[in-house]
Chains A and B, each alone.
Chain A
Amino acid sequence: MSSTTTGTRPFLEVKDLTVRFETDDGIVQAVSNSSFAVERGKTLGIVGESGSGKSVTSLAVLGLHRTRSNAKVAGEIWLDDQELVTATDEDVRKLRGGKMAMIFQDPLSAMHPYYTVGAQIVEGYRVHHKGVSKKEARTRTIDMLARVGIPQPEKRFNEYGHQFSGGMRQRAMIAMALVNDPQLLIADEPTTALDVTVQAQILDLIRDLQDEFGSAVIMITHDLGVVAELADDVLVMYGGKIIERGPAADVFHEPQHPYTWGLLGSMPRLDRDVRDRLTPVKGTPPSLINLPDGCAFHPRCPYAGRNGNRSFTEVPELRGGVHAVACHLPAEEKRRIFHEEVAPNL
């Protein structure tokens, strides 16, 4: 996860990504100064609540803000040694759906209701494979539908999105995303709308396909359980900033940011005894138009002000090596608070 410029670049490297939207109510600071990297074959989990900037980050990687005149994207996005923020629309369009693809949360609204599922996948394939005949594309699509576990793919090819069940529709979405063998796959809450048993099937499928194709995966979710299942590395976002970043085992076992503690404290867990009370973060997330001064989390942080007034005035930098955290509390004190005050209540 280092961002050194010497040697080869990671497969995907995002540096100081900032995304702003100008609206009538003011400037929305959707993502501020975010840096991270993902290697081939690895999975990065991005966790956060609504409005934390996790989806905007992924849309920026795909260049989907380009058509929105009120969006301002700054920073660098390197995909396989190609810079995307300054690239032309045409160049990004060639990559999108080809080298990088996305699985959306709501497969019903992500599919076109007028075209059959098969036709939509064929279209995506032929855009990136010029000169391929319709028949070949059809064969490829049916293969893909079978690969993601859709029974009777020849028949399902001619059906519409609404004729699929939720789980099957999500599988079809995955087939659509994978038809061009993407090397970067971004999944934005791919299982949130699904039942747990179907969720388990889909996560399994994503894991298998990643093993097979060696793609880099970015998994965006609010569910810490899903992240723990799949991710090698984890980013925790709050108020448009990365507040904690590190290998999954470190972030789950030695979380360092008070917000991460709050997220873990909010979850009842089946692998532990029942707690008398959950220990969530107090209050509500900030508005991205009016972010609090200093650390964006300070109004909800039980430890703000422990070290003078820095939390109220100074934005904490994301500091640390492999496991980095943006918090003014000294590392020693964080460790002590986590082990003595937080961990016993999880």
Chain B
Amino acid sequence: MTDNLLEVSGLKMHFPITKGVFKRKVGAVRAVDGIDLAVKKGETLGLVGESGCGKSTTGRLMTRILEPTEGKVLFDGRDVSHVGQAGLRPLRRDVQMIFQDPYSSLNPRHTVGSIISAPLQIQNIPTPNGLKSAVQDLLKLVGLNPEHYNRYPHEFSGGQRQRIGIARALALRPKLIVADEPVSALDVSIQAQVVNLLDDLQREFDLTYVFIAHDLSVVRHISDRVAVMYLGRVVEIADREQLYKNPRHPYTVALMSAVPVPDPARRERAQRNRVLLTGDVPSPINPPSGCRFRTRCWKAQDICATEDPALIPRLEDPASHQTACHFPVTEDEVVAGRRPAGAQA
């Protein structure tokens, strides 16, 4: 057995585009288009990328809310790629999800008590002190008042609702939690409280997280390893420190340089070093040939249009730092404190 809790290989999710009465298939949105990833026991893997890069779809494939078009999902060594309802039930005990929108992810007609106890009832989990006390323990755990057992979601603030979602995900004591933008709908101070809570829970229950977010600073804070996605692919993956200190893929470099730094004294330097990408992300219905980033890349050459770069270690990087790029950005380019040569202003 490896120490990988979850492995996906060659994972693809193509959503068909249909036309006419007979739903003739005329194309496909290639939301996820060939991803290999492993999540180690006890770690937090961060998935970052901009809207439409396939990070949420990847999360939904990992939890098997979606069934992959191609490729495999192995949980704890077991292939769960295509198991049906009956096979999924035991998986749900081990893999849970936290959703982005704390407003639409809780049923407004159910009380907090029934929302949090639903997983326990569905899975027939025995509760020695009764269902109510099990739920109240969970509420306490996520920092909510256990007396509020009978309240409805609308009586809570956004941050508190997100805590309810976390309590529901924890009810079955899962091994893996996939959190899809769990804090992006929250105010800054509430965001930090929830991040700290997720941290504490991970320590207490030995949880493994896949943390999906577009905010690079939050992902850096919470993750042990980070994978950067672009147009349905992982373009770079590395340990946190390594990735943020030595980003190799031009897209990662551009993404990081775009994050505003909360320090007016560094404003000018930040702006000078900024790599501004032009144009929009191409459509995932018809992605560019070869490297998918080449249409917006300042380093692109002929080979980028013909050959799809493999996700492998580049330059002198350790085996754990893999980049899918023919012309990775070197340390000199990044560290010298100037815009990478040839990058657009």
Chain A positions within 8 Å of B, measured between CB atoms, are 49-50, 165-168, 195-201, 203-204, 222-229, 231, 248-249, 252-253, 262-271, 274-275, 277-282, 284-285
Contact = CB atoms under 8 A, between A and B. Distances in A.
21 contacts: A49-B188, A49-B189, A49-B190, A196-B50, A196-B255, A197-B50, A197-B258, A198-B50, A200-B260, A225-B262, A228-B264, A228-B267, A252-B264, A253-B264, A253-B265, A267-B262, A268-B217, A269-B262, A270-B217, A271-B261, A278-B221
Given A50-B187, A197-B50, A277-B199, A270 B256 contact: yes
Contact of A197 (B157, B218, B254): B254
Contact of A284 (B159, B191, B266): B159
B214 interface: yes
A271 B191 CA distance: 19
B260 A228 contact: yes
A248 B277 CA distance: 28
Contacts of B199: 277
Nearest to A203: B260
Interface in B258-278: 258-267, 270-271, 274, 276-278
Main secondary structure of the interface of A (DSSP, over half): helix
Given A195-B50, A196-B216, A277-B199, A266 B189 contact: yes
A222 B267 contact: no
A226 B271 CA distance: 12
- Give the interface size bracket for B toward A: 35 or more
A166 B50 CA distance: 12
Contacts of B278: 201
Contacts of B266: 271
B123 to A, nearest CB: 33
Looking at chain B's contact residues, the main secondary structure is helix
B159 A196 contact: no
B262 A278 contact: no
B218 A268 contact: yes
Contact of B193 (A168, A224, A252, A280): A280
Nearest to A251: B264
B195 interface: yes
Interface of B: 50-51, 157, 159-160, 187-193, 195-196, 199, 214, 216-218, 220-221, 240, 244, 254-267, 270-271, 274, 276-278, 280
Contacts of A263: 188-189
Contacts of B263: 228, 252-253, 271
Contacts of B270: 229
Contact of B216 (A227, A270, A275): A270
A165 B259 CA distance: 21
Given A252-B264, A274-B221, A196 B280 contact: no
B261 A225 contact: yes
A223 B193 CA distance: 16
A196 B217 contact: no
A284 to B, nearest CB: 6
Contacts of B220: 268, 270, 274
Contacts of A228: 260-264, 267
A91 B32 CA distance: 55
B260 A223 contact: yes
A200 B262 CA distance: 14
